[in-house]
Amino acid sequence: MTWLGKVVGGTFGFFMGGPLFAVLGAALGHQFDRSVGNVGLLQADLAPGARNRVQMAFFTATFSVMGHVAKADGRVSEAEIKAARAIMNRMELSDDMRKTAIRLFNEGKRPDFPLDGTLDQFRAECHRRSSLLRVFTEIQLEAAFADGGLHATEEQLLLRICDRLQFSRFEFHAIKARMEAELRFARAGSRYSQWSRQRAASARQPSPADAYAVLGIVPSASDGEIRRAYRKLMSQHHPDKLVANGLPEEMVKLATEKTQQIRSAYEIIAKARKL
């Protein structure tokens, strides 16, 4: 049973609370039952720090904050809606999960959405798992880039989100630079991202310059630096490691796509350098 099945089928409000799970409750259309029924069923799975609880927090924060960022410039564009739905498609969500994700996205658009409280609780639930905060930031950036670029209001909001999560602004800018390169890389013919293929602007092959940028390095980097950058990114995005840390299993496909794109970029560089 997924965490959503436990939420719908059991009583868990006794263990939960806070703005993050209030947002989930609103998305599901009911107030959580605060009685102590079914305590034995859920105590182990949804206790603080348990994987199901972290998965629930990650999923809830991801789609609600995505909706909030999309509304940052005053309106949600059709491209942003399509991007959110494309991310759901790539996750291959079940009907129930997709409906929940859409409702969370809409909750995030509300003017009274408790952003700071949601982020504070999400950070606490992640228990300093920087890998989860990194993936969360990458997903938010990908959605924000949906309409062709990152607007100033969106970037300022994303920086505020990073500050609240205590996620490095330096790393945010590094991820942003890699994301821009990844979009160029994908548009140039990468076979790994369905969404990017649909947005492809030309059929040219990915350039070595874009491949270097995907790895977050400069063309003058040594062979050793290239290998280290590649291994670091592959480790950071390894699907099994992320799931073990609490990434919802529905999001494994995103992590797999990322590792495939990193590997493709490395192969282009390795071929050019004859590594």
Tokens coding 24: 């989930």
* Predicted TM-score (pTM) of this structure: 0.77
Q: What is the pLDDT of residue 178?
A: 84
The number of distinct structural domains making up the chain is 1
Low-confidence ranges of the chain (pLDDT < 50): 1, 9-15, 31-46, 48, 190-203
Q: What is the pLDDT of residue 226?
A: 93
Tokens coding 180: 């821009």
pLDDT, one tens digit per residue, over 206-251 is 678 888 888 888 899 999 999 999 999 998 888 888 888 777 777 7
Residue 174: domain span: 3-273
Q: What is the pLDDT of residue 5?
A: 57
